Structure 1
Amino acid sequence: MQYQGTLSKMETEFGNPIQYYLVFETSFLNVNQLLNKKIEINFEGYQCLNCKKNKKIYRQGFCYDCFYSSPAVGDWIMRPELSTAHLGIADRDLDYETRVQVQPHIVYLALSSEVKVGVTRKTQVPTRWIDQGACQAVSILEVPNRYLAGITEVELKKHYTDKTNWRKMLQNDVLDLDLLIEKTKIFDFLPEEVKPYFNADLDEHVVLHYPVLQRPAKVTGLNLDKSPHYGGKLVGIQGQYLIFEDGTVFNIRSFKGYIVSIAIV
């Protein structure tokens, strides 16, 4: 059986374990059903997720031109403290930026290797935590726009990392720590203008379980530009990674906009 389409990040469904889906233009695939099966991945070409043209992907599934013009990949995406839509100031497209930035955002702590601080739209809970492969996460506070979440993250980055060590995450090399206890240390670290939003009773604490049958002893990332053809037995899925029996891992999110064929053999 073979599937073909343009990669975007896997869709997920919260459960025990998390359910994963690859969604293509005319078909979809429940990736959990491929566990313990050999699959082949072949790189077939590019399709920019924005303009849909056959152009080499530059970053985040976008071609070079779209990456520097689309409001969906402005600097405020990765650096929410740069958000200005709440002031009526545009970066690239004020209507788009207002829709995305001026809505409730959650600042959180997650545990995927070390304790990580992060920001996400409220509508993306728990999807954001699943996508980064967190084994547990806890909400710290809810604010009405992305800017306030961003300045909170900037201050908390003085005490916590904002990056996931993906190798440790995939090997399940994770700190043994209670995030609800860690949260009790947070208040004094917060910027003054967001302290009124801190709610000690906001105890949303999520534990996440992934469909992983075998952990890699040594991790090797699959790069489709260097290795356009790969085959192996799928033994796990975590975050946006496929984990194979030989220690190869494939980060789906890093190859958004790549056209692939996937064969179950």
Structure 2
Amino acid sequence: MAYQGVLTKMETEFLQPVEYYLVFENEFLNMNQLLHKSITIEFVKYQCLNCGLNKPIYRQGFDRQCFFEVPQAADWIMRPELSTAHLNKEDRDLTFEKKVQLQPHIVYLANSSNVKVGVTRKQQIPTRWIDQGAHEAIEIVEVPNRYLAGITEVALKDYVADKTNWRKMLKNDVEDEDLVQWREQLKQYIPDEAKDYFIENNTETNIEFPVYKYPVKPKSLNIVKQQQYTGNLVGIKGQYLIFEDDTVFNVRANEGLVVRITVN
């Protein structure tokens, strides 16, 4: 059976283990049901997530022109400390920016390849942690806007990582950490503007992923270059599909590509 559509990040359901869904325009696949099956992925064309045109994807699912125009790809998305909606100051689209920036945000610690600090909207918990492949995470600050979360993250980056090593995460070469202890150690470095929002009493969230075999030497699949790939699906972690031959496919990094997936 074959399915075709434009890739967007897999939707998830927080169960133990996590359930994954690949959602196309007119159908969806429960990816957990494809574990232990041979599937073929074929590149069909590009389809920008904004304009819908068949133009090479530049970043985040957008072609080059759209990437530098749409508010969903503005600098404050990746660098929340650049948010300005709380000042009533527009970057690309103030209505959109107010909608996204002026809502509760969480500064968190997550352990995927190592303990890292991150920022996400409150409504994206625990989805954000799942997407990063974190097996444990904890909220440390809840603030009313994205700017306060951003400056808190910047302050804490001097004392804890802010990036995930994707290879280490996929190999499951990780150790359990006491995130409550990490939270207490980092409390002193929270900026004055955000100190009142520190979360005193909470516990770690633990996440289990549907992985039956972790790759020893992960090899990233470039489906545009290779055009077609067939492999036995043995796991899903973060936004990666993991195959028996150590090939891994980052669904989120390939947003905006139209693919055909055949269950062999």
Normalising by the smaller structure, the TM-score range is over 0.9
Mapped partners of 1:217, 1:63: distance in 2: 34
Distance 2:79 2:11 in 1: 24
- What are the residue-to-residue correspondences of 1:96-245 with 2, within 5 Å? 96-201=96-201, 203-245=202-244
Instruction: Give the match's secondary structure for 2:42.
Output: strand
Rounded to whole Å, the distance in 2 between the matches of 1:145 and 1:3 is 40
- Partner residue, 2:36: 36
- Aligned CA-pair RMSD: 0.7
Query: What is the rounded CA distance, in whole Å, between the counterparts of 1:112 and 1:49 in structure 2?
Result: 28
State the distance in 2 between where 1:176 and 1:134 align.
Answer: 11
Match for 2:159: what amino acid? H
Distance (Å, rounded) in 1 between the aligned partners of 2:229 and 2:162: 32
Deviation at 1:178, TM superposition (A): 1.2
Counterpart CA distance in 2 for 1:175 and 1:16 is 19
Unaligned runs of 5+ in 2: none
User: Matched residues in 1 for 2:152 and 2:120: separation?
Assistant: 12
| SS of the residue 2:99 aligns to | helix
Verify the 8 A CA contact 2:74 2:92 in the aligned structure 1.
yes
Report the alpha carbon displacement of residue 175 of structure 1 after superposing the two structures with TM. Answer: 2.5
Aligned counterpart, 2:86: 86
Secondary structure in 1 aligned to 2:185? coil
Which range is displaced more, 192-201 or 251-260?
Answer: 192-201
SS of aligned partner of 1:185: helix
1:176 deviates by 2.8
CA–CA distance in structure 1, aligned partners of residues 141 and 57 of structure 2: 36
C-alpha distance in 1 between matches for 2:176 and 2:252: 27
SS of the residue 1:40 aligns to: strand
1:55 corresponds in structure 2 to 55
Contact 2:105 2:142 in 1 (8 A): yes
User: Using the alignment, how far apart are the partners of 1:16 and 1:198 within structure 2?
Assistant: 29
Does residue 10 in structure 1 map to residue 10 in structure 2? yes
In the superposition, the TM-score normalised over structure 2's length comes to 0.99
Q: Which amino acid aligns with 2:58?
A: Y
The C-alpha deviation readout for 1:193-243, integer Å capped at 9, x for no partner, is: 111111312x15210000000011111000112211100000000000000
The one-letter code sitting in structure 2 at the alignment partner of 1:262 is I
Is the 8 Å Cα contact of residues 171 and 215 (structure 2) preserved in structure 1? yes
Residues in 1 aligned to 2:187 and 2:9: alpha-carbon distance in whole angstroms:
34
Deviates more, 1:220-229 or 1:40-49: 220-229
How many equivalent residue pairs?
264
Moved over 3 A (4+): none
**Counterpart amino acid of residue 260 in structure 2:** S
* Structure 2: distance between partners of 1:32 and 1:225: 24
Measure, in 1, the Cα distance between the counterparts of 2:203 and 2:48.
37
Deviation of 1:52 after TM superposition, in Å, equals: 1.2
CA distance in 2, matches of 1:126, 1:89: 30
Aligned to 1:263: 262
